[in-house]
Amino acid sequence: MRFQSALLLVVAVVALPGAASETNRHWSYRGDTGPAHWAALDRDYGTCGMGKAQSPIDIRKANVRPKHLPPLSFHYRASALEETNNGHTVQVDVPAGSEMVVAGHHYVLKQFHFHSPSEEMIGGKRFAMVAHLVHRDRQGHIAVVAILFRSGQPNALLARLWHDLPQDAGQTREAGLTLNAAELLPDARGYYTYTGSLTTPPCSEGVRWFVLKSSATLSREQLAAFAKLYSRNARTVQPLNGRVVLSSK
């Protein structure tokens, strides 16, 4: 897989039970159930409208703190995966055995899913797609790694995932899918970091994001295949409200 200079890897940490983005009322990315209306759809979604530390954001400026930011360490392994069209995106569930370590703290990889275009922005620019890799520690804190893609050469791992995409909401592909999510990760692990939220209802805050500074590619054909299912499943960027973005080397 080819990597270029602007893939983002983003990590979020927050204490939440279960699948926090799949709660009571129906929500979507368009119309009366779209992001502008999430807070009014269910009392549990109030933070989507009232929160002051929401994600995603547009990263335009960061303070450099190379001595105070720990490296990110990934220990993923190949395993049999389950791929589902959940009505909001394509989600890939991962069995136990893959984890990420940050400053000695362990987070188990639970699932990853996709948004197109990217939710995160850098200097006012969106990317063609983003993958969010969702982890959880023993206390229930969640860490989400986001990998952004630009149009270019075909992506080998996506080629395998896209081979038999579940076409209908609720449909799951279980057989014949074994891969290692580490194939999505770039070699360079410098990053930005800030405090934010989940990007889907209930938009819970207390989330710490890390943004890696490299990029992956996917082909136009791969992007078009996903767009047939979900062409704009991305939340708009949110105000910083005085938050500080830090940067490692």
- Rg of the Cα trace of the chain? 17
Task: Based on the residue annotation, tell me whether 88 is a catalytic residue of this protein.
Answer: yes
Residue-level pLDDT at 4 = 45
Q: Which amino acid is at 40?
A: A
The structure's pTM equals 0.88
Write down the pLDDT at residue 241: 96
What is residue 7's predicted lDDT score, i.e. its pLDDT?
46
Q: Are 167 and 181 in contact (CB under 8 A)?
A: no
Buried b (16+ CB within 10 A) or exposed e, 50-83: ebebbbbbbbeebeeeeeebeebebebeebebeb
The pLDDT of residue 50 is: 97
Output the pLDDT for position 14: 53
Domain parsing of the chain, residue ranges: 3-247
pLDDT of residue 224: 97
Sequential DSSP letters for 85-129:
E-SSSEEEE--TT-EEEETTEEEEEEEEEEESS-S-EETTB--SE
For the record, the structure tokens of 17 come out as 């039970």
Positions of the chain with pLDDT under 50 = 1-7, 15-23
The predicted-structure confidence for 116-159, as pLDDT tens digits, reads as follows 999 999 999 999 999 988 888 898 888 888 888 999 999 999 99
Q: What is the pLDDT of residue 249?
A: 75
166-177 b/e (C-beta count within 10 Å ≥ 16 → b): beeeeeebeeeb
pLDDT (0 to 100) of residue 96: 93
Q: Which CATH superfamily does the domain covering 3-247 fall into? A: Alpha carbonic anhydrase (3.10.200.10)
Q: Look at residue 9 in the predicted model and tell me its pLDDT.
A: 56
Quote the pLDDT of residue 148: 86
What is the pLDDT, as a whole number, of residue 13?
54
pLDDT at 56: 95
Give the pLDDT confidence score for residue 15 in this predicted structure.
Answer: 44
Catalytic residue (choose from 26, 68, 88, 105) = 88
